[in-house]
Amino acid sequence: MRKLRTVIIVFVFLLSTLTFNGKSEAAGNIVNPNKVYSYDQMVEDIKKLGSTYPDLITYKVIGKSEYGREIYAISLGKGPARSFINGSHHAREWITTNLNMYMIEEYAKAYRKNSKIKGYDARNILNSTTIWFVPMVNPDGVTLQQQGLKAFPKSMHASLIKMNKGSTNFKRWKANAKGVDLNRQYNAGWKTIHNSPKGPSYAHFKGYSPESAAEVKAVLKLDAEIDAEMAVAYHSSGKILYWNYKQDKSTYNRDLVYARAINKMTGYPLVKPSKNPSGGGYTDWFIQAKKRPGFTPEISRPVYETSPPISEFKGAWQENQAVGLYVAQESAKLFDARMKKEADKLAGSFKTLEKKASNLKVTYFNNVKKESQLKLTKTFTDSYTSIVKESKKLESKAAKIPKKHRKKIDTHIKSINSYKNYAKSYIDAVNSGNALIDSTNNLEKLFITGNLDSTSVSKHKQLTKMIGTTEKKLSKMYGVSTRTLAKKKYIEPASILTNNVQYELDRYNLTLQIENNIKQKKIDAAKANLEKLAKLETDSKKAKTNGNKKYPGKYKTYKKTEDLLKNMRSKVETDLQQLEKELEPKEEPVEEDDSAAENPQ
């Protein structure tokens, strides 16, 4: 019985351990940094981290190495402020990949648990920032250093051995697999780099031109995308901190504060500025090109031409475990200060544009005192186009500014959009009005020349529709007085014409109907329509008289059209009379009785 109880207890314990660890512990121990950490292991772990922390971690391929290995970048966090941490620029320094990957996992765990690392609140920091990592910049070099020639095509073995000074032991390998030192490739003092071999080598060759290596191109492309506020490029060995490269006084003093804070965390002494620094490194470029803080911590004790022993990791982690969070925290502050500065500068640009936009009002309202002033000048339309283009450009920049810094900007945008919208409404209304005038004149010409046909009917319908469209556009114009003038200039003539000629068109259509009645020999229908035609003629005269009382001389009588309609009426009347005669019953002739004459009584 005691044995059975023991078995049951052990079984329950194992089951509970598996159940708990299957979700929690396994998720918390993806990265094992205490071993030789390969490229393939890193890729596997990156994918596991992404699936374990999908709300916090994303990853993507940012390019390929010279031998086609995919270079991965991982983002950690949810905020707009960004920092950048990378490792393994140098092949024999792959322990920095261990540090990068372990840092990602430990920060993600701390976020999920809502815990702190060395006093830094991971959740609070990662909600306001995003840390980007490239844990292995140089996957070819790392693979060659760890695995040797077997990881590369046989056709390349001879050239690799040659670059390695004839040795098949690649433990000292520092460059990428093309023999280019990636941390001498960046375009910061590249031309004056000291002690570079003349050609590809296991170490120190700066390349034939800056930023030509595929791996460096990938890093720079990511850098341009994320626009980091602060960067850390991890290296080994020496337990020292590089932090400066040709700064001016203000940036030097700014970055010294951060360097001292990292020194306090890690214990790494600060490397003193040199008058003629060698350059070519990633942080050299970052500091010089972006004028932002960049740091290169060397995380292990000094080793000579090989990778640091894995035993160095424990101390490196203790020294650097909070560095990423500190950098992210300070990046958020830098980002906020930069956004405020950019917002103030942008607000000034918007203010200038608002003043320019306000000048549009001079054309679409202030100067519109009579109908002749309802027009579009090239100066006005060019100015409007320029404002729209400039506004779009500025608004794309404003979209990147956090909401808390946008109050002034949004006020200016609202005002500018108001001026733009009214200017656009004015342009649309005047263009539509001018088109309406053209259509009105074209229709009137048909009546002046007496050209009534299906085209006239169609153009009348089109004009009626255009009146409605133009009225809608006029209703959006700024100012009651401007709208009133526009209606008088555009709508009134078109409306008068469509009303005035409606009777002529109705008479024309009715006359055509009478012609059809006659063809179909429908005499009664033709006569009834003739009576309607007579009434239309009377109504037409009456409408013109009444219309001219309100709009003197505007309800015109078009002589050629009247002559056409009279001729058409005369013809159908003649045709109807002829039809009536044709259909009139004929009298039968009376036969005489000749029998009386032959037989008189």
Distances from the Cα of 111 to the Cαs of 133, 187, 333, 445, in angstroms? 17, 37, 20, 79
Residue 20 has pLDDT above 50, yes or no: no
**How would you label 503-540 residue by residue, b for 16+ Cβ within 10 Å and e otherwise?**
bbbebbebbebbbebbeeeeeeebeebbeebeebbeeb
Query: Which tokens go with 438?
Result: 């053209």
Tens of pLDDT along 338-390?
999 999 999 999 999 999 999 999 999 999 999 999 999 999 999 999 999 99
Residue carrying the six token digits 């539509």: 432
Helix, strand, coil share (%) of the chain residues, nearest 5: 65, 5, 30
Distances from the Cα of 451 to the Cαs of 50, 158, 162, 442, 533, in angstroms? 77, 93, 95, 11, 19
Q: What is the mean pLDDT of the chain?
A: 93
Tens of pLDDT along 159-202?
999 999 999 999 999 999 999 999 999 999 999 998 999 999 99
Per-residue 3-state assignment (H helix, E strand, C coil) for 208-259: CCCCCCHHHHHHHHHHHHHCCCEEEECECCCCCEECCCCCCHHHHHHHHHHH
| 271 close to 243: Cβ distance less than 8 angstroms | yes
Q: Identify residue 84 by its one-letter amino acid code.
A: F
pLDDT at 27: 44
- Average pLDDT rounded to a whole number, residues 503-509: 96
Distances from the Cα of 327 to the Cαs of 76, 131, 228, 353, in angstroms? 13, 9, 11, 37
- Average pLDDT rounded to a whole number, residues 510-534: 95
Least confident of 63-72, 381-390, 417-426, 582-591: 582-591
Q: How far apart are CA 294 and CA 219, in angstroms?
A: 15
Q: Is 279 left (phi over 0), alpha (psi -120 to 50) or beta?
A: left
Q: Cα 243 to the chain's mean position, in Å?
A: 37
The DSSP annotation for 530-575 comes to HHHHHHHHHHHHHHHHHHHHHSTTTS---HHHHHHHHHHHHHHHHH
Choice among 298, 312, 471, 504 that is catalytic: 298
Would you place residue 590 in the very low, low, confident or very high pLDDT band (cuts 50, 70, 90)? Answer: low
Q: How far apart are CA 44 and CA 96, in angstroms?
A: 17
Distances from the Cα of 496 to the Cαs of 353, 491, 535, 551, 555, in angstroms? 43, 8, 21, 9, 7
Least confident of 12-16, 226-230, 263-267: 12-16
Query: How many Cβ atoms sit within 10 Å of the Cβ of residue 421?
Result: 12
Query: How many Cβ atoms sit within 10 Å of the Cβ of residue 11?
Result: 10
Segments making up each domain of the chain, as ranges: 27-335, 339-427, 439-583
Residue 12 has pLDDT above 80, yes or no: no
pLDDT at 583: 86
Query: Which tokens go with 581?
Result: 């005669």
Residue 2 has pLDDT above 70, yes or no: no
The CATH number of 27-335 is: 3.40.630.10
Tens of pLDDT along 72-110?
999 999 999 999 999 999 999 999 999 999 999 999 999
Would you place residue 592 in the very low, low, confident or very high pLDDT band (cuts 50, 70, 90)? Answer: low
Name 233's bridge partners: 86
**What's the longest Cα–Cα distance across the chain?**
171
pLDDT at 7: 38
Residue 5 has pLDDT above 70, yes or no: no
pLDDT at 595: 52
Rounded to 10°, the helix 249-266/323-358 angle is 150
> What's the predicted TM-score (pTM) here?
0.77
Would you place residue 594 in the very low, low, confident or very high pLDDT band (cuts 50, 70, 90)? Answer: low
Residue carrying the six token digits 């850390």: 232
| 460 close to 407: Cβ distance less than 8 angstroms | no
Tens of pLDDT along 236-248?
989 999 999 999 9
- What is the number of alpha carbons within 13 Å of residue 242 lying toward its C-beta? 24
Q: How far apart are CA 275 and CA 246, in angstroms?
A: 8
The DSSP annotation for 444-482 comes to HHHHHTT--SHHHHHHHHHHHHHHHHHHHHHTTSSSHHH
User: Is there a catalytic annotation at residue 537?
Assistant: no
pLDDT at 28: 54
- Average pLDDT rounded to a whole number, residues 395-405: 94
Residue 414 has pLDDT above 70, yes or no: yes
- Average pLDDT rounded to a whole number, residues 483-487: 97
Residue 142 has pLDDT above 80, yes or no: yes
